[in-house]
Structure 1
Amino acid sequence: MGKILIIDDDAAFLNFLSSYIREFYPLLDVETCTNPLKALSAMKKKKIDLLLVDLEMPMLDGTKIFKYATEAGIDKNRIVILSGRDADYLHEHFPMGTCLAVLNKYEAKQKAVLDMIFSSMQRKAAG
């Protein structure tokens, strides 16, 4: 327990988030991908405990990645959709129960939700 895949075309954000997880949640294994097409094979090959997906990406957006992930067997309750959009927009496109969470990746308050998720995974990884 503790494998995280983050898919986001914003390399700076990916770097920041993965560094944060590695520093504060060292038992979690983080893999990142800036190319959503390459991420598809990573989803098939590995057991993923948490999938973080950016909603707006070129070539393949987060909605399509979400659909692919669930069809590949990733539980919808292990998927978090990240976006720069406001909460109303996100909840309109991903109503409650569609996935684990939809978060604005630039709002500081939303970081607390990710921390709760990461903390829970860290405790489970510690056994």
Structure 2
Amino acid sequence: MINVLVVEDDPMLAELNRRFIEKIDPFVVVAVAGNGEEAIKALKNKKIDLIILDIYMPKMDGMELFKRVRKQNKEVDFILVTAANDTDKIDEALKLGAVDYLVKPFEFERLKKSLINYKIRKNLLIKKPFVSQEEIDKLFIGDIEGFAQNEERELKKGLHKFTLDRVIRFLKENKEILLSSEVISENLQMSKVTIRRYLDYLEAIGKIQKKMEYGSRGRPSYLYRYIDKNNK
């Protein structure tokens, strides 16, 4: 589990970010703070691994919070979020050790990529006492696609590779159309609850596209399509 603190003065954005983050395993938002002072309190009371930090906030802005936490030598990482993309701020953030820097408005896919990259780096450094130069190069200067592929093989607890392969194969065979969980369930003769668990996992790792559709009664339903990266 990776415990996340969201620091954002806009309540709607904070809630949106929380929902996005918790779609990605194993990230859990354990606290939301509206300013730097609230964030300091949360850091004292909870174990935090990663802070998603807005820079411009009242009372104590993000950069001040960032510097204060660094002076305290707390073992916590930062992904900065801001509407500013000036080079001075980016340079300062990098010097303080930010793992990423997102400029508003950003797409969920960009945040998702940032979190997955962070998870891969964290897992690599935890699991291996020593790393090769090639692995170091991928972490610091290159594409970490290879690590991402390995990470995809590590299924969430309760999921099984054989069943996952069946779902993926069916989605690939029907990649030209949007499919409902009901259709997938009927064709694979599996329960809707089980199918949805696998679909949620495949969406989280970027294998499928999820689209909301409203029916005649106004109730939303979800349709899914396999993402064929070779045809992008």
Q: TM-score range by the shorter chain?
A: 0.7 to 0.9
The aligned counterpart of 1:94 is 93
Alignment correspondent of 2:40 = 40
State how 1:24-63 maps to structure 2 within 5 Å. 24-30=23-29, 31-63=31-63
Task: Work out whether residues 25 and 119 of structure 1, in 8 Å CA contact, stay in contact via their aligned partners in 2.
Answer: no
C-alpha distance after superposition, 1:64-121 (max 9, x if no partner) = 1101222333336x11111011263532332356321222131337435434246547
Residue identity matched to 2:61: D
What 5-or-longer segments of structure 1 have no aligned partner? none
Query: What's the secondary structure of 1:116's corresponding residue?
Result: helix
Give the ranges of 4+ consecutive aligned residues of structure 1 lying more than 4 Å apart after TM superposition: 121-124
The amino acid of 1:36's aligned partner reads: G
SS in 2 for 1:68: helix
- Give the TM-score of the pair, scaled to structure 2: 0.45
Larger Rg: 2
1:69 has 2:50 as partner: no
Between stretches 51-60 and 63-72, larger displacement belongs to: 63-72
Structure having greater relative contact order (Cα 8 Å, sep ≥ 6): 1
RMSD: 2.9
Q: Is the 8 A contact 2:6 2:53 kept in 1?
A: yes
Corresponding residue number in structure 2 for 1:85: 84
Contact 1:7/1:53 (<8 A) preserved: yes
Distance 1:112 1:90 in 2: 22
- After TM superposition, give the deviation of residue 17 of structure 1 in Å: 0.7
Unaligned runs of 5+ in 2: 124-150, 158-232
Given that 2:24 and 2:112 are in contact with CA atoms closer than 8 Å, whether structure 1 keeps it comes out as no
Question: Residue 85 of structure 2 aligns to which amino acid in structure 1?
Answer: D
